[in-house]
Amino acid sequence: MTAGETPSRPGRPRGVIFDLDGTLTEPLLDFEAIRRELGIPSRQPILEALETFEPAARARAEVVLRRHEMDAIAAATLADGCRELLALLDAHDVATAILTRNIRAAVEDFTGRFGLRFAAVFTREDGPPKPAPDGARALCQRLGLPASEVWAVGDYKYDVIAGREAGCRTVLVRPAPPADLAEWGSPDLVIRSLRELVDLWK
C-alpha cells in the first residue's frame, strides 16, 4: 500500500501494535546526547552497543539510559491524532498494544499520566528488542490474533522490520519519508501523522 491510498474496509486491522517514543508521543529522546554521555559512536544503536560493554560499565550505562528515558517520558506530549485514533480503535473493538525498546516503567508512566489503556505491552525487559520480531509475535499471541490481521505502527525502520518479519502489515509515521527507506523494505503504508489513520478510517 502506498502513501495516500485508502485501506479498504476488509483490510482494516483487528489489532494494532504501536511504538511508543515518536509514535504515540511527540519525539523527545535525544539519542545523540545519550550516545555522547555513554561514549557510543554517533548513529550506532544504543541497546546493541550496550551488549558489548563490560558488566560494571553496562550497569552504569543502563542507569544513564533509564534517566534519559524517564525524563523524556515525563515531558512527553501525545502525538497529533493519538487520542482520537485510540478512541476510534476502541469504539471498533480493535485491540491495541505497545512494542517499545524503552522500559516498562516509562510505559506505565505514559499510560497512567494520559489515562490510556492497552491490551498488552512488550518492552526490552520482556525479550529481544526491535528489530527482532519476537515482541511483535508475542503481542499478536497475547491479543489472540493472527499477525496478518494486525498493523505494526511506528516511526523508525526497526518498527517496520520487526512488524514485517512477524507477519504484520506495517505503517510508518514520519513527516517526510527517510532517504534510506528503500533499504528497509517499504512499509505497507506511509503517513505523516496518526491523524491520517483517523481520516483514512472514516
Query: 3 to each of 47, 91, 123, 166, 187, how far by Cα in Å?
Result: 31, 25, 29, 22, 10
CATH class label, 9-27+78-201: alpha beta
**Per-domain boundaries in the chain:** 9-27+78-201, 31-74
Determine the average pLDDT of the residues in 176-193. Answer: 82
Top-confidence residue, 59 or 4: 59
Copy the grid coordinates of residue 19. 511504538
pTM score of the predicted model: 0.89
101-149 per-position pLDDT tens digit: 999 999 999 999 999 999 999 999 999 999 999 999 999 999 999 999 9
Distance separating alpha carbons of residues 168 and 161, to the nearest angstrom = 10
Residue 28 is predicted with a pLDDT of 82
Determine the average pLDDT of the residues in 156-179. Answer: 91
Query: Which residue reads 498494544 in cell numbers?
Result: 97
CATH class label, 31-74: mainly alpha
* CA torsion through residues 137, 96, 93, 201, sign: negative
17-34 per-position pLDDT tens digit: 999 999 999 988 888 898
Determine the average pLDDT of the residues in 138-163. Answer: 96
Checking if the pLDDT of 5 tops 80, the result is no
Determine the average pLDDT of the residues in 71-78. Answer: 93
Query: What DSSP character marks residue 22?
Result: I
Query: 202 to each of 6, 11, 12, 190, how far by Cα in Å?
Result: 10, 13, 11, 17
